[in-house]
Structure formats: structure tokens, C-alpha cells
Chains A and B, each alone.
Chain A
Amino acid sequence: MRIVKIRTRVNGKDIQSEVEPRELLVHFLRENLGLTGVHIGCDTSNCGACTVLVDGKAVKSCTMLAVQVDGREVTTIEGISKNDELHPLQKAFLEKHGLQCGYCTSGMILTSYWLLKNNKNPTEEEIRKNLSGNLCRCTGYQSIIESVKYGAQLMMKEKEKEEQQIEVR
């Protein structure tokens, strides 16, 4: 059994580790790094519960090898909040009841986070299409769509506030 050394950056922290080439990214994140916000749902690349960001793009970590993030940056749900405060998207999901059992939520949030980085004010259709690889078996999606819309508003407000503060300074 060959072991490979990898260097990666996960949620802003530099990580050096040894992995077997066949180790999946989802297992590496959960078992080696304890990031259990990354969920295993279908394990067959259908449900999106295992979504993480690799170099800023949302991907299914059950369909990627841990060795493939060597030299790349990974963000999980644990990495999007700042200073112990929930990210605006997390606040929005809480307030708009964007979850029931919560199993799909980290994937829903990260996939939407990726969308909102490139498209600050998406249409409902864009939000829906973007989430077509993330399955929820509880909500019927309506409250998730509302959460993403509200999250987009909160993020824009936060950005405005930040810009005003910079001007004041």
C-alpha cells in the first residue's frame, strides 16, 4: 500500500497529511480532520450532502480523491463563518426555516455560497438551477429558495456596511 504526502489548505489552515491514493476527500475531511459538517448522503454523486469548495468551486467531495486537493484550498461549512458569528447565509437559513432535519443544509449553503460569489443578486431560476445537484427530502425546497434569496440580501447589506465603514475611516 502506497502512502502519498499532501499539503493543502483547509478552512484557512495549512495541513500536511499522509493519505492512501484511494482515500476519498469526504473521508479525509471527516475522519482525518474531524470536519463532520461534511456529510455522507448517497455516496454515489447524486445528493450533494458532501459538497465542499475546492479552490472556490463547489464540488462533491465523495467524488474526488483526497490526493487531488494537494496544493489546493478547501472550504467546508466550518470555514465560512467569521469571528464566531454565523455567515449571512447561515443566518438566512435559520430565520427562513431553510432546513428541517439539517442533513442537506451544509451542502445547500456551500453550493449557494459559490453562486453568490459570482452572482450577487441571482433570480429564483438561477438559484433553483444552481441547487439541482443538492437533494432535500424534508422541505420541498421552497423554504431553501427563500433562504438563499434572503441570504443574498443580507450579504449585499453587509457589503454596503463594510464599504461605509471604510469610507468613515
Chain B
Amino acid sequence: MNIVVCVKQVPATQKVEVDPVTGVLKRDGIETKMNPYDLYAMETALQIRKKTGAKIHVITMGPPAAKAVLQEAFALGADEGWLLTDRKFAGADVLATSYTIASGIRQIDHVDLILCGKQTTDGDTAQVGPEMAEVLGIPHISWVTELIDADDQALIVKQDLNEVEAVARIPYPCLITVEKGIFQPNLPSYKRAKEAADNPIHTLSAAQCRTLDPSRIGLSGSPTQVERIFTPTHDVKTMRLDGPEAESAAKLVAILKEDKMWEEENA
């Protein structure tokens, strides 16, 4: 059995700045790390490997330096790495990203299960998993809160749907994205990292993905355009209410109403 875990390299901090002149994100010199939500996907893979003996592949799309995130995954226990890197992939939105990673996954033989994190801490859309499942034509369940069982045929998982909790059986091949808290992730181990020094990493360019249609990747394959990026204006000015309690209470209710935190019943 083969599991593919999708991991993304993200800036180590969310406090990024926008260059006021060019309007682009200042990414230079910012430290990177594995998207924290992907640690849970990695841990889920390790738990399933315990039960099924599956092999764990990790895949990432990014610049050549994103190789580091595959090595991080090795230090957590992954077996084999796939690095999708090509200038032509740059500027991809979710649709082009999902298409590209799906094309990379197609290079791996007999994939049964694909695991993604809930979302990333940079782009923050939580859309790549479901879009990839659609590209690959396989079923998916998002934001799985609990892995109840796994064998070589299917997963049994729990999902929290607003008013109800649902337990579902989803047969392979399939994709799930996992909530944080599905498992407590282990820390990367130096020993494992050393042992994994020879784990294979396959580098894939656009041309090396056999099925890839070059019109569907990168900036030109992306329907969405980021027209402008800016920093939100926070006004953390404190409003002080120090009059009589009845007056302050009335003001508070008005504020809650304005913030849509409270509506008059039967209105």
C-alpha cells in the first residue's frame, strides 16, 4: 500500500510585510518550515503505516530549496520524497497548484491514499486537497477529526459537520485532509533524519510529469489573479465605558448588535 502526504514549505512566521513601493510580499531572508498543519497529516500517515505496513511518500511543490521540507518529513518517518520544482510552476493559484501536484502524484505507482493538512499558514485557503481529489477523480473527505480504522481497503473516519458528527467509510483510492488534533504529532528525530540521509528524493520538472498539460500550470494556468496585497489597518484604540452600569450595558448591547454578535429574537 502507498500513501502520499502533501507537505508545503511556509514562512516560519505569519508576520510578513508588504513592500509599500512594489506591493509584493517581502519573502527574502524569511526562515521557512513545514506547514504546521501538515505535521498532523504526517502523523496520520505514520499511524496508518503501523496498521497496514504502507509505504509513505511525501510530495511538495516549491522552489529547489523546498527539498528541505522533504528532509523534515524524513526526520518524522517518511520513506520517499518527490519534489516538484520548475520555474514554470511559479505563480500558481489553487487550481494550478492542485493540478500540478496531482500530475506529480500520477508519477507514483499504485497510490491508495493521499493525505493533506487542513490548510496552510500562508495562502490559508484549505482548497488544495479537495481540488486535487477532483483532478484525480477520487472521493475525498475534508477536515477529518478522527481516524477510527484503516486497513488495506478503506478508511473509517469521523467528520464534524456543523450540527452532526458523521462516521464514514471511504474506500481507496481517496484523499482526506486532517484537522489539527487528529493525533499528537511526534517531534522530528535527529536519529531518523540521519538514517534517512539516503532516502530517495525524485525531482520532477513540468516536462518530467508524463501526463501534464503545460497550459494548466503556473501563473498562466491560474484563473485567479491577486490584484493587490495590503496590510489590514488595525485600530486597537480602547473605547472606555466608565459611566453608570445601565448606560454602559446599553452601549455594549448596541456594539454587539453592530458586530452581528446578537440579534433581537423574533425580529
Q: Do A and B come from one complex?
A: no
Residues in B lying within 8 Å of A, measured CB to CB: none
Residues in A lying within 8 Å of B, measured CB to CB: none
